[in-house]
Amino acid sequence: MSSLAIDYAHKHQVRFLDELKDLLRIPSVSTLPEHNADTRRAAESLANEYRRIGMENVRLIETAGHPLVYADWLHAPGKPTALLYGHYDVQPPDPLDEWLSPPFEPTERNGNLYARGAVDDKGQTYMQVKALESLLAAEGKLPLNVRVILEGEEEIGGEGIAEFVASRPPELAADFVLVCDTELFADNLPTLCVGLRGMIYTEIEVRGAKTDLHSGMYGGAAPNPFVALAQLIAKLRDESGKILVPGIYDGIVPPSSEELAAWKSLPFDEEHYRQTEVGSKELVGEAGFSVLERTWARPTLDVHGMPGGFIGAGAKTVIPAKALAKVSMRLVPGMTPADAFAKLREYVLAVVPAGVEVDVRLIHSGEPCLIPVDNPYIRAATAALREVWDKETVFIRSGGSIPIVGDFARHLGLPSVMMGFGLPDDNLHAPNEKFKIANFYRGIDSIIRFLETTGESSK
Amino acid sequence: MSSLAIDYAHKHQVRFLDELKDLLRIPSVSTLPEHNADTRRAAESLANEYRRIGMENVRLIETAGHPLVYADWLHAPGKPTALLYGHYDVQPPDPLDEWLSPPFEPTERNGNLYARGAVDDKGQTYMQVKALESLLAAEGKLPLNVRVILEGEEEIGGEGIAEFVASRPPELAADFVLVCDTELFADNLPTLCVGLRGMIYTEIEVRGAKTDLHSGMYGGAAPNPFVALAQLIAKLRDESGKILVPGIYDGIVPPSSEELAAWKSLPFDEEHYRQTEVGSKELVGEAGFSVLERTWARPTLDVHGMPGGFIGAGAKTVIPAKALAKVSMRLVPGMTPADAFAKLREYVLAVVPAGVEVDVRLIHSGEPCLIPVDNPYIRAATAALREVWDKETVFIRSGGSIPIVGDFARHLGLPSVMMGFGLPDDNLHAPNEKFKIANFYRGIDSIIRFLETTGESSK
């Protein structure tokens, strides 16, 4: 593997990491309105960086929420056009007291960089930025045409970019998308993700009395919204993890026998996974399916929190007037968000306990998607990864959701190459999120070689 | 009804109310450590007031938590000794945004005084203070011996006073207790409370993964503590309100047929109660029991809140590492807190869902109690109430818990007279707590006449 751009990237690794740290210091938590100014600041910081490295037509594209960042470089006539996607928003950092170093003060420990967004997705978005810088600085040009589109709402449903993509704007005219928001199946194992689960994120609100009541005076007469909500949730999922919403499994497209066979050959030790990644006393999930099948190819239902009532220390003897549950479902090929939400809502409203009123609200959703692997971009990616990592690439799915990947396919006809360099224990969405620094560097190399290989193979 | 003390009380009503407002401005929320200084300030304020009106030996008695307030006046040889009980601590004011006026800025509206603690129990404690002031100022003496004991932990289990009572200190040598912490069954209906439910307040903690996890990556493999907790709670109580803990109803002593007949003759309109007090679309509770039986004489189980996980606005796709539920049970005669907690805990631990670990912790508890009504103090109370209210007194129970009433009986052999002047819609423990100002004044009159009558009848 040799390339002027690779040489440049290696020479500037320390600076690249320092610049990433600056970006990670901006608390661009998209779901919290008090961080709206920070979120915009992260977008502006990236736009400035694209301008600095020589990208053109750089600008923020406003949406109803947080802005998109656009940039392009289109001076490679006859070559394909890559659309580089990433997101600059991050998950909330709570629970704060479990972080070993502050979430927005990037800290190096044991060869890792710890910070909220280190790997999801500022670190991976920044690999793209630094790959482009290395190519432009070392060669004075890019090996193909490049457009960049970043969003700031990936963690809250991505409505802004979804609308933008659906409008099929000229800014997104391209041949394929490079998405850097996934992970390696294992360290030192180059990986392309070719399937994502979709999701619906909902709120179930239960209302009982008109106001909070004293549980001594009214216990025995007033409905208790938390008990009712618990009874509802207990009807949504059995203890194995099977979803009890009628018809929810109808029409699911299972993985092919070839794909299942490939998954079986992946280096996966369930007991190691339980101990090091999950840490629970046992794993749970539908009987008859492996962990990879359950997390990649089966729908699941989770509760994320139940706001309302008394949550302070000590005791308050109140029957709360209302209770809320944040409930999401992951969806797999053959399911649609609209159908899954309709079935969930209909079922919940059919089993409402006595005395309470219930609303089910859809907060956001995303389609599941499967990527066809038989195209020149996937072939170029595996070639580039073989060069940088000296290993054959494995194809996996992810249990997570990147709804925009489905939108790129549906509205623009673009195949995505999901090339990510996180590790399974990187604590995405959790305290102590990290990015292995060596993987940040090899990720930059991989993107450089992928873009070069794609440009070369299409002359 | 005539009495120099009553005349004095009537003449000073406006000042009495203003002084109560000063006390209500002190946010003595006993369960919140950040209010510890305020809670002590409320105790000191009351102690100063007892000194000012001429009570003796006034002092704070320290406990492991908030202090007791003690005062006495023991210059009526041959007369009985009354022990006057009240509490100066209050419930937390949340949810704050539902208060029409600030909880710690007492506000008059429609003949009511609105504030946290207006009726529970600063307002009712203050009726005692002002009754004593009126007697001492108008007569230069009290009609019987009086000791006062106030606590600052009634809303958090009352451990300090329980230990003090159990030690049988000379400060509590008395013939009976006057407790002003209950309510009228209906406005203009003088009421004595002769039964209280006991309670256990517990926390059920469920732990799954070692850290918060991404619900996309791990949904289908990692246990979800909120789902598990919901499944547990659904097994504690059925939809009618019946508690499913095995053996929990064993040994319950039902009300006598006379008591049940008396309850049936009380002016109670279930539909009016549903609409004006509860406001839910229907009432709930065990089949085969009336509302009064369910809230006064049947055990109940309620959930007060479920801390943990993501409770902000918007979406966070997390599988929380742990979840907590604040769960209490109200107990009736024939049950004990120790037995009820043991049965609850054993049952919960027997039905733990797969993949999670569960702890059940007892936060505080109180015994249920029934007061014998055949004693001179109850007779003096009904006589005094007849004079002031021109009506016969009704005997009711309360669904709430005042554990110290049972302790006074068990450790000191003292009968309690529970004479309270709140109204059923006073929003105890809820936003917009209030005290009808006319009842504050008539309560002072009632206490004056009760003490005078008790003194006269025992010469």
Q: Does residue A426 register a pLDDT over 80?
A: yes
B361 touches chain A (CB under 8 A): no
In this structure, are residues A46 and A176 in contact, taking their beta carbons and an 8 Å threshold? no
Q: Is residue B316 part of a domain?
A: yes
B179 and B209 in a common domain: no
Rounded average pLDDT over A47-72: 98
* Last residue in a domain, options A323, A341, A366: A366
A288 touches chain B (CB under 8 A): no
Higher-confidence residue of B249 and A155: namely B249
B203 and B188 in a common domain: no
B327 and B231 in a common domain: yes
Give the integer Cα–Cα distance in Å for A394 and A189.
7
Burial A284-320 (b: 16+ CB within 10 A, else e): bbbeebbbbbbbbbbbbbbbbbbbbbbbeebbbbbbb
Q: Does residue B274 register a pLDDT over 90?
A: yes
Q: Is residue B219 part of a domain?
A: yes
B106 and B41 in a common domain: yes
Give the integer Cα–Cα distance in Å for A329 and B60.
56
Set of chain A residues whose Cβ sits within 8 Å of the Cβ of B319: 302, 304
Q: Please tell me what DSSP assigns to residue B97.
A: G
Give the integer Cα–Cα distance in Å for A227 and A215.
13
A224 and A132 in a common domain: no
Q: Does residue A459 register a pLDDT over 60?
A: no
B215 touches chain A (CB under 8 A): yes
Average pLDDT, chain A: 95
In this structure, are residues A387 and A1 in contact, taking their beta carbons and an 8 Å threshold? yes
Question: What is the model's pLDDT at position B426?
Answer: 94
In this structure, are residues A312 and B31 in contact, taking their beta carbons and an 8 Å threshold? yes
Q: Is residue A318 part of a domain?
A: yes
Set of chain B residues whose Cβ sits within 8 Å of the Cβ of A358: none
Q: Is residue A207 part of a domain?
A: yes
Q: Is residue B274 part of a domain?
A: no
Rounded average pLDDT over B60-81: 97
Q: CB-CB: which of B219, B308, B354 is closest to A330?
A: B219
Give the integer Cα–Cα distance in Å for B429 and B93.
8
Q: What residue numbers bound the domain in which B303 lies?
A: 198-259+297-366
Question: Apex CA B120: angle with CA B114 and CA B125, to 5°?
Answer: 105
Residue found under tokens 């998954």 = A263
B227 and B137 in a common domain: no
Q: Does residue A1 register a pLDDT over 70?
A: no
* Last residue in a domain, options B366, B392, B407: B366
Q: Does residue B1 register a pLDDT over 70?
A: no
Q: Over the stretch B183-210, which tens digit does the pLDDT of each residue have?
A: 999 999 999 999 999 999 999 999 999 9
B176 and B156 in a common domain: yes
Parallel/antiparallel/unpaired status of strands B318-319 and B394-398: unpaired
Question: What is the model's pLDDT at position A429?
Answer: 85
Q: Is residue A261 part of a domain?
A: no
Q: Is residue B117 part of a domain?
A: yes
Bridge-partner residues for A277, per DSSP?
none
Give the integer Cα–Cα distance in Å for A372 and A88.
27
**Helices (DSSP H) in A111-180: which residue ranges?**
122-139, 159-166
Give the integer Cα–Cα distance in Å for B132 and B145.
11
How many domains does chain B divide into? 2
Give the integer Cα–Cα distance in Å for A59 and A47.
6
Bridge-partner residues for A86, per DSSP?
A150
A187 and A103 in a common domain: yes
Question: What is the model's pLDDT at position B372?
Answer: 86
In this structure, are residues A230 and B229 in contact, taking their beta carbons and an 8 Å threshold? yes
In this structure, are residues A352 and A232 in contact, taking their beta carbons and an 8 Å threshold? yes
* Last residue in a domain, options A366, A381, A416: A366
Give the integer Cα–Cα distance in Å for B168 and B162.
10
B225 and B191 in a common domain: no
Q: Is residue B264 part of a domain?
A: no
Give Dmax over CA atoms of chain A in angstroms. Answer: 81
B231 touches chain A (CB under 8 A): yes
Residue found under tokens 């009352």 = B158
**Helices (DSSP H) in B242-336: which residue ranges?**
257-264, 270-273, 291-296
Task: Provide the CATH number for the domain around residue A97.
Answer: 3.40.630.10
Parallel/antiparallel/unpaired status of strands B300-309 and B322-331: antiparallel
A352 touches chain B (CB under 8 A): no
Tell me which residues of chain A, numbers 80 to 119, contact chain B at a CB-CB cutoff of 8 Å: 91-92, 94-95, 98
ipTM given for this complex: 0.85
Task: Provide the CATH number for the domain around residue A354.
Answer: 3.30.70.360
B390 and B362 in a common domain: no
Q: Burial-class residue B265 by CB neighbours within 10 Å (0-12, 13-18, 19+).
A: exposed
B210 and B191 in a common domain: no
Q: Does residue A405 register a pLDDT over 80?
A: yes
B248 and B343 in a common domain: yes
Give the integer Cα–Cα distance in Å for A77 and A201.
43
Query: Which tokens in the block code for residue A433?
Result: 């999120």
Question: What is the model's pLDDT at position A156?
Answer: 87
